[in-house]
Structure 1
Amino acid sequence: MGLNASYAHLADYYISKNPGLAIDYAKKMYRVAIQISSPVDRLQALQKLIKLSSPIATKQYFETYQELADSLQTARNAAKNQFALIRYETEKNKADFLKAKAENIQKQKDILLRNIGIGTLVLFLILGYFLYQRRQKNLRQEKEIEVKKTELKYVKKIHDRVANRVYQVMSEVENTPEIDKSDLADKLDVIYKISRDLSYDSKDINNEESFSIELSKMLYSYASAKTNIEIEGGGEKLWEHVRVEAKAEVFYILQELMTNMKKHSGADSVTINFKYENNRITVLYLDNGKGMELLTPKNGLRNTETRIESISGRITFDTKLNSGLKVEFSFPTL
């Protein structure tokens, strides 16, 4: 800004003494005004150049001045906070200049209108092109996000509905000395149907059997000679007014906890307690396994947080290395 002001004073100083040098300083002022994005200083520099330049150059500077002055005026009118003094000075300079150059108004008006029309057309074409490109980019990004969401959705379904079921059946086979082959075949058939119908959003909880019984079967399937499972509460009456979606999420959360226990904790005692109070069901999971020094679940336990949030619930983890695992979660029944 200081350099710009210096060029302005020098141009004024040399107007009468050395017009050529005054033009040079006016041009330098114009270039600096562009660099510092000062349209007002550009207008002042153009005024000096119009007064000092040859007729041919004056015409070019006038066109630039006219276009810049109109553009600046339009921007000021569109702004909510207009600067009255600058607008007044611009209009005054514009009026003084038009009065001094009255003989050229009609010709310059035609040229200006033509240039404005061409410039506006080009501007709209460029703007339309960039808007079209941005729209296409947004559509591609939305598509990519949708694809990723779909992939995550099916990965989660496979993990919850197939992988944990398979592990549950494996645990039963491992811990049951003499297993009924037809019963095993039925369970494998269920897993097959679940994997075949993964594209559907329906939950794979068996509606023909009471939820409490099905939940108990799943939990006790992880019991073995080395691992004792105890269930407190959780009778059928507890689940009478619970939504089907909430039941399914509770089933998957507990199935994930039991699978994690079987795979990683080495626990020999697991207790699951169900309690109903103030229209909320609270589930407390305890095991005496090796626990975790830091709770950094890679996928399964992290899914439990997402699941409980989907039914407006909350979950907390309490674990230390070699001190077992305590998980408590609750959700509203209404």
Structure 2
Amino acid sequence: MTGFLACRREDPPPPPIIISPELQKAESFLDKQNDSAFYYLNKVATASKDSLQIAIAYNEMAVIQSDAGDYFGAQESLSMSLRFLDHRNEKHYKCLASDYNELGVASIKLQHYTVAPGYFDLALRFSNDHKFRLAIYNNKALAYQRMNNYPEALKIYSKILPQTARKKTYARILTNMAISKWRHHPDYNPLGELLRALKIRRDEKDLWGLSASFAHLAEYYTQSRPDSALFYAKAMHEAARQIGSPDDELEALGYLIRLSEPKAAKAFFGKYQQLNDSLVNARRAAGNQFALIRYDVERNQTENLKLQKDNAEKKYQLVVRNVLLISAFVVLLILMIVARMRYNKWKKRKELEKQEAILETRRKASKDVHDSLSNDIYLLMKRIKHDEVLDRSWLQSHTELVYKRSRNISYEILADTDEFFPARIGDLLKSFGTENTKVLVVGNEQALWQRVGAEAKLELKYVLQEMMVNMQKHSRAANVVVKFEAKGDTCHITYIDDGIGIEPGTVHQNGLTNTGTRINSIRGRIIFGANEGKGLRIDISFPFA
């Protein structure tokens, strides 16, 4: 994400006209004391009567949250901002453009790449500022780049590069376009463009841009010249530390782990784990901090209102307070009664559905018992009662037949009735298919899943989901096959792709560790290996229930 971060640092959206002293005070803390800035912005958002100022406050709160890694919180603040804006009012256009751009930013950060271009198109619709439009186009191209839709990304880069006068912006677009060409056509040599962008950034003393250039050069040299890749990875690590970017530092450590000798790689891996844990904790703490600030502001406002009321006439205050309390109590009571009635109605309906299902099962069982067992049991009783010499072999076989029929009926009653499970698994797997990745599912039949217990189905659903998520994130595969088959008392699931595979010595992250735990819970085995030619093969086997 280095190129994207640089974009956001260098080309922030042009701020709308601000006339509120409270907003000016809040902005004086931005990039210095962001917690104080968030506090005063939240006060504006909750106290102002001007809808545009409220929208601006929520927008700037979202930027602070996004910079702190709280992307879900940023989306919530942006949604609040949009509620106070009028799409027909030209005075609101700058804030609308900024809101939609930040929604696209958050979508890329959350890896929701397919929805991001739509947000950037909306941002372009409301922006007439040339520099900001270039930044939006670059962000849109980056979203296509993350989707591996390089033709669309290159179309945008080629359009905006000649329009770019600012050297830092020119270098950023140039390096993004070069790396997109190379990823789209591996035979293409982007080195000249990458080095030209690197020189511009050195001349401009653009540390954020240098970090991005070092990352692209490390990626380019990883396969052909690992020693050069290691050099640029070290340079990126140093630049990331200078600018205080933990995300860039983590990316640099990832390259250093892959490119260094085992002993050095082990040390880098320890740093990676420590930094990653610190970053996760810091972002979680940031989200909690913003929530606490909002709570404190709301509490302070409530206390201020109470103090203002205390200064009013006591008699009038008592009357108003009592009316409000009674009204609130009546409304609350009505809401509670309505909610209770709806809940009881829903509960009754669910109970009736449950009882009907039980009755239907009992009717079926009763019919099966009557049709299958009654006559046989009556014949058995009659022979025992009236035959002077009882044929023991006939008695044994007939008793065994009755037992088998009764057992079959009990199995039918207890059998898993989830006849739609194969369809849900098929939909889950095929949902990961894209224009660049084809997913083929083989053997996903009802007959096979009928032999799998409910607990195993649940675990396998999450295992398959985790496998497909890892495929989409890391494999770069064009074709994926998932095959289900029964071999005796064992179910076999085979996953094959033609992607980049798993390099020897790769450390399993939490997802793969959880996958192994789930497979163990159903007494199964999972084996990772290389596919014939290239790619990854995963074999899963477990006993049927």
TM-score scaled by structure 2?
Answer: 0.23
Richer in strand (by share)? 1
Richer in helix (by share)? 2
- Structure of higher RCO (CA pairs closer than 8 Å, 6+ residues apart): 1
TM-score scaled by structure 1?
Answer: 0.38
Structure with the greater alpha carbon radius of gyration: 1
